[in-house]
Amino acid sequence: MSSYKIYIPPTTLSTLKSRLENAVFPDELDDSGWAYGAPLADIKRLVARWRDGFDWRHEEQKLNAELPQFTRDIEVDGFGTLNIHYVHKKSEGGLGIPLLFVHGWPGSFLESRKIILLLTAGSGDARLPVFDVVALSLPGFGFSEGPNKTGFSFTQYAEVSHKLMLALGYTEYVTQGGDWGASITKEIARRYGGEHSKAWHINLILAGSPETQDPSSYTAFEAIEKDGLARFQEYKRSGNGYYRIQATKPQTLGYSLADSPVGLLAWIYEKLVIWTDAYPWTDDEVLTWVSIYWFSRAGPAASLRIYYEVEHAGQEVGSTNFHIPTIPLGFSHFPKELGRIPKAWYHLIGNVVFEVEHDSGGHFAAHEKPELLVGDLQKMFGKSGPAFGVVLGRNGYDG
């Protein structure tokens, strides 16, 4: 294990500035708004800020001050050793529940930034449990090394995550994830549930419909369930072109994202806006998020390949081809998430013991609604919660 501080070389920063100075923008149809993708005015404004006003060194220093970061070599079966970047903050008091936070795309370890202090401090309330939080950069994301062989899918992401927790001394732990993090934590629950992974909580709740499901029975679903299914169908119809490209020809797209910071910005910014619930993004917030991808150790293209590998392993989102985990599972529902499934399908995901409905929030719950997400975890694992005491000797309280 080695301590880690983010430091981007001056030459890398100057190269980025030069590329931004020489950016070429496409035209745009009149009154097209968001219908065709990220609006030209937004991207020009963000590029101008990135080029002339955004202070990466300031953001870098803030991240280093706020987040205790480390790297560690993890041996991955069939893939050799990968150097993994992660955040690790222990609770300020009590026997913190070890919690592994797993991000997705286009997220990063940055998504844990707002929840870490709340989880480790217990929101300053002794009645609430505290957590030891680990937030890794998935292989190929952020400042983790990426695999150099094909076939790195959920099995390997779960293996890296699990081995990291063991290396930190957490032989028992719980997990939280959204986006790909929800699928990876499910794989952790499948492979290591019971002995090591004791419970999991997710905020992207998707699964394929049961084979025996009669479509005519959809009329019996509650209105909120019908709305969730309709949102997911609309997402598949008009919002997942990125998914199909990244799942079929990620290398081709990778050339554009690795060569053009403007292209990378537009590709990610669109998702940050349309997948959130009117979240008031500041320009510097967006640029910090995108900069993590531009400066990533393996390069922007590496993060795309998870889509290809998952699809070609038959492990796509919502797949029910594998056995269902039995450890306790919690859900947090946010109304602007990409979709959701009805309660009648919960058995396809796991042993649901806890769920909360929220009236605002979208896809990036840890960033958009950190207090709500943390509150749900505190309820699920607190003294009156259904998953209290699942980690032996570490219940989140003094004793």
Instruction: Please tell me the predicted confidence (pLDDT) of residue 210.
Output: 72
Per-residue model confidence as pLDDT tens digits over 61-117: 999 999 999 999 999 999 999 999 999 999 987 789 999 999 999 999 999 999 999
What is the enclosing helix (H) or strand (E) of 14?
helix 10-21
Instruction: Please tell me the predicted confidence (pLDDT) of residue 209.
Output: 73
Per-residue model confidence as pLDDT tens digits over 217-276: 667 799 999 999 999 999 999 999 999 999 999 999 999 999 999 999 999 999 999 999
| Whole-number Å distance between alpha carbons of 25 and 263 | 9
Of 242, 235, 173, 160, the C-alpha closest to 204 is 235
Catalytic positions: 179, 308, 363
Strands (E), the chain: 2-4, 69-76, 80-89, 97-102, 131-136, 173-177, 197-202, 328-333, 351-357
22 Cβ contact partners less than 8 Å away, ≥ 6 residues apart: none
Instruction: Please tell me the predicted confidence (pLDDT) of residue 127.
Output: 87
Question: Strand 2-4 relative to strand 97-102: parallel, antiparallel, unpaired?
Answer: unpaired
Is residue 215 pLDDT above 90, yes or no? no
Per-residue model confidence as pLDDT tens digits over 335-372: 999 999 999 999 999 999 999 999 999 999 999 999 99
Instruction: Please report, as a single letter, which amino acid is at residue 326.
Output: T
Per-residue model confidence as pLDDT tens digits over 116-167: 999 999 766 788 999 999 999 999 999 999 999 999 999 999 999 999 999 9
| Whole-number Å distance between alpha carbons of 396 and 391 | 9
| Whole-number Å distance between alpha carbons of 362 and 341 | 15
Instruction: Please tell me the predicted confidence (pLDDT) of residue 85.
Output: 98
- pLDDT tier, 10 (very low <50, low <70, confident <90, very high otherwise): very high
Q: Are 72 and 165 in contact (CB under 8 A)?
A: no
What is the enclosing helix (H) or strand (E) of 3?
strand 2-4
Per-residue model confidence as pLDDT tens digits over 371-389: 999 999 999 999 999 999 9
| Whole-number Å distance between alpha carbons of 356 and 211 | 27
Mean pLDDT of 180-191: 98
Which tokens is 266 given? 């537009």
Which tokens is 85 given? 């970047």
- pLDDT tier, 50 (very low <50, low <70, confident <90, very high otherwise): very high
Per-residue model confidence as pLDDT tens digits over 98-110: 999 999 999 999 9
Per-residue model confidence as pLDDT tens digits over 289-333: 999 999 999 999 999 999 999 999 987 655 555 789 999 999 999
Instruction: Please tell me whether the peptide bond between 325 and the residue prior to it is cis, using omega within 30 degrees of 0.
Output: no
